[in-house]
């Protein structure tokens, strides 16, 4: 598995590896920051496939991307496991694209990429899995689509996440989590299409905390790497003022811990800012029907609109239109039973998707 160091991207790659019955993939991470010449390599791939690059160039790029020591360690582990030559490199995002293609060539394996990489032609990969809302036109036979960003979590990942959370809460021995119900709140960030402002967000959170206090809910909160610093600062102050309700918080701009698997497992309901396709997707794949908090829209995004229209048609999430309806939606959300992983997999056609991926990559079903 080729990681670009971004938590959300790595989570999608891990989720796909778990779905393909590989819960413990070998992971190699692209160095940060990327080399200055990296965009030129992606541009070169438009004209010459990385599989045809001179060996000295391919090896130089691999060493520059991963470091020679990390590269040799990965190759040694694969040989020890008798995996070399039957490797599937799973990668997500633009930065991991060229290193993943070259690593697949080096190991005589096949390449499976998630999300559309900038400049790199999709035909360079053996298979590409795109979110359906990101498919802008007809694609070739090497491209599959899926409605969401992947985010399933296996039992091992969930157990590690729970243990980390218990440790941060200071729970000792076999002490379990305090009784709920729990409610997860996930905060995204500003983008070219949305602006996340502290004042607007806190207006909704004040309503949420009021309902939580009335019904004795415990709130689990996490920001994301995209959350603006001023928003995270305002949220930290808000948590200090409402410690009895906001039971646990992760400030993800500087914290690498991903609490979402444990959050989703504990919670009866999920609230997400509408900008984050990945966190909305993860909540749905974990069996929830999240509430989407509106943000200020700067300009139209057809991709976001396609995604939200799909959610509305399938009744997989609900957008909060104003603060007045928010308490009613919260109560309805918490009262609804959470769907099981098997129910979600059946409803969204995940088993068929995995079977198609394995067939295209010539893997045993």
Q: What is the pLDDT of residues 261-276, one digit of tens each?
A: 999 999 999 999 999 8
d(C-alpha 265, C-alpha 357), whole Å? 28
Residue 320 has a pLDDT of: 94
Give the chain's radius of gyration (CA, Å): 21
Q: How many CB atoms lie within 10 A of CB 352?
A: 11
Tell how strand 296-297 and strand 194-195 pair up. antiparallel
Query: Domain locations in the chain?
Result: 2-146, 160-346
d(C-alpha 158, C-alpha 75), whole Å? 28
Residue 152 has a pLDDT of: 62
For residue 188, what pLDDT band results from cuts at 50, 70 and 90? very high
Residue 82 has a pLDDT of: 58
Task: State yes or no: cis peptide before 181, omega within 30 of 0.
Answer: yes
* Sequence-separated (6 or more) residues with CB below 8 Å from residue 257: 164, 168, 250
Residue 224 has a pLDDT of: 93
For residue 183, what pLDDT band results from cuts at 50, 70 and 90? very high
CATH number for region 160-346: 3.40.50.2000
For residue 245, what pLDDT band results from cuts at 50, 70 and 90? very high
For residue 85, what pLDDT band results from cuts at 50, 70 and 90? low
d(C-alpha 281, C-alpha 307), whole Å? 10
d(C-alpha 12, C-alpha 264), whole Å? 16
d(C-alpha 345, C-alpha 187), whole Å? 26
Q: What percent of the chain has pLDDT over 70?
A: 95
Q: How many CB atoms lie within 10 A of CB 140?
A: 9
Q: What is the pLDDT of residues 313-361, one digit of tens each?
A: 889 999 998 889 999 999 999 988 888 888 888 888 888 988 999 999 8
144, containing H or E segment: strand 143-146
Cα dihedral 317→318→319→325 (10° resolution): -150
Residue 136 has a pLDDT of: 65
The helix-helix angle for 38-45 and 97-106 (nearest 10°) equals 70
Q: What is the pTM of this model?
A: 0.83
Alpha carbon distances (Å) from 335 to 220, 325, 339: 17, 16, 13
Which of these, 176, 175, 182, 272, lies nearest to 219 by C-alpha position? 182
Phi, psi (5° rounding) for residue 36? -65, -25
Classify residue 241 as exposed, middle or buried by CB count within 10 Å of its CB (0-12, 13-18, 19+). exposed
Start-to-end Cα distance in the chain: 20
């Amino acid at each position: 598995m080729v990681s670009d160091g971004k938590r959300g991207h790595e989570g999608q790659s891990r989720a796909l590896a778990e779905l393909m019955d590989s819960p413990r993939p070998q992971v190699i991470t692209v160095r940060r920051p990327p080399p200055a010449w990296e965009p030129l390599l992606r541009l070169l791939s438009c004209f010459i496939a990385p599989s045809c690059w001179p060996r000295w160039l391919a090896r130089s790029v691999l060493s520059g991307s991963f470091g020679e020591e990390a590269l040799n360690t990965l190759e040694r582990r694969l040989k020890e496991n008798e995996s070399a030559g039957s490797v599937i490199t799973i990668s997500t995002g633009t930065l991991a694209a060229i290193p993943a293609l070259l690593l697949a060539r080096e190991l005589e394996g096949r390449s499976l990429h998630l999300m559309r990489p900038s400049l790199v032609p999709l035909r360079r990969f053996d298979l590409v899995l795109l979110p359906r809302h990101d498919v802008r036109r007809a694609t070739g036979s090497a491209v599959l689509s899926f409605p969401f960003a992947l985010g399933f979590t296996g039992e091992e990942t969930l157990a590690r996440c729970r243990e980390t959370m218990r440790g941060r809460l200071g729970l000792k021995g076999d002490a379990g989590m305090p009784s709920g119900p729990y409610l997860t709140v996930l905060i995204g960030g500003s983008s070219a299409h949305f602006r996340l402002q502290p004042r607007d967000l806190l207006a909704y959170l004040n309503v949420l905390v009021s309902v939580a206090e009335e019904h004795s809910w415990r709130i689990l909160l996490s920001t994301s790497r995209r959350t603006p610093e001023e928003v995270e600062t305002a949220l930290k102050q808000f948590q200090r003022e409402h410690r009895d309700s906001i039971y646990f918080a992760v400030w993800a701009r500087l914290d690498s811990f991903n609490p979402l698997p444990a959050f989703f497992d504990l919670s009866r309901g999920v609230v997400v800012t509408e900008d984050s396709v990945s966190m909305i997707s993860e909540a749905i794949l974990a069996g929830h029907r999240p509430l989407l908090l509106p943000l200020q829209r700067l300009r139209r995004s057809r991709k976001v609109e396609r995604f939200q229209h799909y959610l509305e048609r399938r009744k997989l999430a609900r957008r909060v239109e104003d603060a007045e309806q928010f308490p009613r939606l919260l109560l309805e959300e918490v009262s609804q039973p959470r769907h099981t992983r098997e129910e979600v997999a059946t409803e969204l056609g995940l088993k068929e998707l995995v079977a198609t991926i394995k067939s295209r990559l010539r893997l045993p079903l």
